[in-house]
């Protein structure tokens, strides 16, 4: 029976069967309602930052640290461009060289079809992973535009990764994202420009009332990783969110809901054809938002 097969998928996933886990996550991602008991609060770390900053390489270091300490680590990589889910981004999986594969689960999630909002069922997937015994859930997203920060509405701990020679630090500052992080890792400390990058990040935070710590690391050599892990471990996710973070979190959920509305594509089309104004379009959509 359908119900039985759903619950046995969860039971099997809990017993360590990865195929069942993959199937379970795919079903959740496809919008199926699957009841999973809630017995704990998931431990979730969102890792964001500009393309190429070293997020995947750094996550491998973190996963390696935790897997060496007998923790099971699940990594969900949100791929903004791929229509395909379930498989691993080749590039990203290739960065997983240090972590113990028996203790690590890796999966990419497509963000396509959500117009850059929160991927389908992400929160339920996190819960499923947590309840089936994954002690740490890490979500990797590229943080370059407003929509991509949707992640902060599902992760209590946010790590921003930046580094030298990216020219993105300034942009990050502009978007106010430096402030939404709990921690900032200035990666690639082995490269010559790293001191300058640290300074530039610290300058960007100089007006912040409660600036997050900036930690210099090299995911390549492992320098500073121990310190970063200590900081992550001691974050207190319950201590409240900054106003900046609460705003982005709320706005991301609203944007996702608007984009998931069954009317969205039609209204966008009508506006593009000058049939209606955008204000009329917004009025037509009111009360017709999609869920999350």
Ligand X SMILES: Nc1nc2c(ncn2[C@@H]2O[C@H](COP(=O)(O)OP(=O)(O)OP(=O)(O)O)[C@@H](O)[C@H]2O)c(=O)[nH]1
**CA torsion angle for 136, 140, 145, 150 (degrees, to 10)?**
-30
Binding pattern to ligand X, positions 127-146, x when CB under 6 A?
Answer: ---------------x----
- Three-class SS state of 6: helix
In angstroms, give the least distance from the CB of 177 to ligand X.
15
Q: Report the nearest approach of Mg ion to the CB of residue 56 (Å).
A: 3
CB 264 within 8 A of CB 285: yes
Q: Report d(CA 42, CA 48) in Å as an integer.
A: 19
219 contacts ligand X (rule: CB under 6 A): yes
Measure CA 237 to chain center.
16
**Out of Mg ion, ligand X, none, which partner does residue 148 contact, by CB within 5 to 8 A per kind?**
none
Shortest Å, Cβ 22 to ligand X: 21
Among Mg ion, ligand X, none, partner that 107 touches (CB below 5 to 8 angstroms by kind): none
Residue whose beta carbon is closest to ligand X: 54
How many residues can be counted in the chain?
292
- State how far the alpha carbon of 220 is from the alpha carbons of 72, 120, 162, 225, 237, in Å: 23, 33, 14, 10, 28
Q: How far apart are CA 5 and CA 11, in angstroms?
A: 10
- Does position 256 interact with ligand X (CB under 6 A)? The reply is no
Residue 55 Cβ vs Mg ion, minimum distance, rounded to whole Å: 5
Q: Is position 56 an interface residue for Mg ion (rule: CB under 5 A)?
A: yes
Binding to Mg ion in span 82-111, by CB under 5 A: 92
Cβ atoms of 100 and 67 within 8 Å: the answer is yes
Q: Are 154 and 119 in contact (CB under 8 A)?
A: no
- If the CB atoms of residues 86 and 262 are measured against ligand X, the closer one turns out to be 86
Among residues 16, 52, 145, 213, the one that binds ligand X under rule CB under 6 A: 52
**Is 48 one of the binding residues for Mg ion (CB under 5 A)?**
no
- Binding interface with ligand X (CB under 6 A): 51-57, 95, 142, 187-188, 190-191, 218-220
| Residues lying near Mg ion in the complex (CB under 5 A) | 55-56, 92
């Amino acid at each position: 029976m359908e119900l039985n097969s759903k619950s046995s998928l969860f039971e099997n996933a809990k017993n360590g069967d990865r195929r069942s886990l993959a199937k379970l996550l795919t079903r959740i991602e496809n919008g199926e309602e699957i009841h999973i008991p809630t017995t704990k609060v998931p431990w979730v770390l969102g890792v964001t930052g500009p393309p190429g900053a070293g997020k995947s390489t750094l996550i491998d270091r973190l996963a390696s640290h935790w897997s060496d300490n007998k923790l099971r680590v699940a990594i969900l990589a949100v791929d903004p461009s791929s229509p395909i889910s379930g498989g691993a981004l080749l590039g990203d999986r290739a960065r997983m060289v240090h972590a113990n594969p028996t203790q690590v689960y890796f999966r990419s999630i497509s963000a396509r079809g959500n117009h850059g909002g929160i991927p389908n069922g992400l929160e339920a997937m996190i819960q499923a992973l947590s309840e089936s015994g994954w002690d740490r859930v890490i979500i990797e997203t590229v943080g370059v535009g407003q929509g991509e920060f949707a992640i902060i509405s599902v992760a209590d701990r946010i790590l921003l990764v930046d580094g030298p020679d990216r020219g993105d630090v300034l942009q990050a500052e502009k978007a106010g994202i430096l402030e939404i992080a709990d921690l900032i890792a200035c990666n690639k400390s082995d490269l010559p420009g790293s001191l300058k990058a640290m300074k530039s990040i610290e300058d960007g935070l100089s007006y912040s009332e409660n600036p997050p710590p900036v930690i210099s690391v090299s995911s390549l050599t492992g320098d500073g990783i121990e310190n970063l892990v200590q900081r992550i471990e001691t974050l207190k996710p319950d201590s409240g969110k900054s106003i900046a973070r609460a705003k982005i979190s709320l706005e991301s959920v609203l944007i996702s809901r608007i984009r998931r509305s069954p009317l969205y594509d039609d209204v966008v089309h009508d506006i593009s054809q000058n049939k209606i104004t955008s204000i009329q379009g917004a009025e037509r959509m009111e009360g017709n938002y999609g869920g999350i």
